[in-house]
A and B are shown apart, each in its own frame.
Chain A
C-alpha cells in the first residue's frame, strides 16, 4: 500500500521550519532525504512518522545514535520487551531470534545493559527493535554517523539484505550524498524547510537542477572535489 501524506508543516518559536509538504512512498521504496544541517530533514522525518502513525501505518524510526533509543540503566531484554509491548505484540522468541540472526547480534547478552554491548551491536539492536512490528516504513536518521566505518558498512549491508526480501520502504535521512547515492533510488533534496528536488537518484546525480543539489553532488566524493 502506498503511504501518502499531504500538507505536513512545522513551526518552531514562530518560525516556519517545514513548509507544507506532500509525499507518496511506494512499498519497498528506497528514498534518500538529503540536505545541509538545518534544512529540515529531521523535522520532515519526524512529521512523516507522526502523521503516518496517526493514519494507522506501522512506521519505525532509527535515531542517529543508539544513546537516543536505549536507557543506560535498563537491560537489553527490558528494551526489547518494551518495544513489543508498545506495539501491542506478545513476546515471540522466534521473531526475536530471526531479527538477531539477520543483524548478526545473536551472541549479545540480553541481561546486560547497553554499555555492555559494543556501539555497533547497540545500533543493530536498535534497528532490530525497529523491525519488530514488520513496519511499512523505516525512517533512519543518520544511522551510521555514530559508528566506526567498518561497523557502519556491515550494518548497512545487513539491513539492506533484510529489507531486500520485504516490502518495507526506507527513508534514509543524511547530509551525505555519498552514503545515500548507492542505497536509494529516489532522492529528495531539502533546503530551508522545503523539498526543492524530488527525482530518481541517477537523474539527480547526473544533472542537478538547483544550486543546493549541485553543491551536494559536487561535494559527494572526497577524491573529486571542485576545488
Chain B
C-alpha cells in the first residue's frame, strides 16, 4: 500500500503541498483531480523522489517509497521518449539500468496486450502515432515491474475514442498484473469511470478523498461539487439512465 503521511513540500517559501495524507492499496486506482497549479504534478514528482519533502513520509508496504521504484507514464507521449533513440531502446532502459533483461516472448506478449506490433518498437517516437507512443510509454512503465505506476494526465494528448480505448487497456492490464495506479487527471469523466477513489487537490491540500461512486453521486466538498457540475456541463459525465 502507498501511504502518504502529512506530506508538505515548499518551493522556496511557497507551500505547494500542505499536509497531504492518503493511501492507495495494492492493485487499486486512485485518481487525483484538481485545477492547474493545485499541486498534482508536484505530488507525482514528490512520490517519485524528484522533489524534496519539507515534512512528512511516503512509504510503500511500510518501507520508504524509494525501494518501490514507482514507474511513470507522462502526459506528452512523444516528448516522453528520447527522439534519437528507437522506442525499443528507451523502453528497455529501466531494465538495462538494473542490468536485467526481458525475453522477446514476454516483450511480445506485452506488446500484444497493448496492441503494439513488436516491429514498431524499432521506430523512433516521431514515426508512430500519438496513441501508439502513449501505449509505448505504458509498456515502458510495465516493463520495470513496479507495483506502483503513476500516470500524469495519460490521456490528455489523445482524441476522445483513443482516450477511452487506452483507459480500458490500462484497466485490463492492471487487473492482469496487479499494479496500483495513481492517476493525475483533470478529466473527471476518466476518474469516474476508472478509479476506486477520487482525491480532490486544491491549492496543495486534499479537499476530499471519496470512493468514486459516492463522489459521482455527491461530492463532499464545495469544490468537488463544482468539478462535478463542470464535468456534466462539458459532457465529460452524463446521467446514465
Contacts and interface: CB of A to CB of B under 8 A. Distances in A.
Contacts of A29: none
Interface in B209-241: 216, 226-227, 229-231, 233-238, 240
A178 B238 contact: yes
A86 interface: no
B35 A151 contact: yes
Contacts of A37: 129-130, 158-159, 162
B36 A222 contact: no
A149 B230 contact: yes
Given A36-B159, A37-B159, A222 B164 contact: yes
A164 B164 CA distance: 33
8 contacts: A37-B129, A149-B188, A150-B230, A157-B233, A176-B235, A216-B160, A216-B161, A222-B187
B159 A225 contact: no
B168 A219 contact: no
Contacts, number: 94
Nearest to A179: B235
Interface residues of A, number: 32
Contacts of B234: 144, 149, 152-153, 156, 178-179
Interface of B: 35-36, 129-130, 156, 158-165, 168, 186-190, 192-193, 216, 226-227, 229-231, 233-238, 240
B131 to A, nearest CB: 8
Nearest to A34: B160
B33 to A, nearest CB: 9
Interface of chain A, main secondary structure? helix
A177 B230 contact: no
Question: Ordered nearest first, which 4 A-B pairs have the shortest CB separation?
Answer: A178-B235, A222-B189, A175-B159, A153-B233
Contacts of B187: 149, 222
A150 B229 CA distance: 8
Given A156-B233, A223-B238, A175 B168 contact: no
A155 to B, nearest CB: 10
A150 B156 CA distance: 16
Contact of A222 (B226, B233, B237): B237
A147 to B, nearest CB: 9
A206 interface: no
A178 B193 CA distance: 15
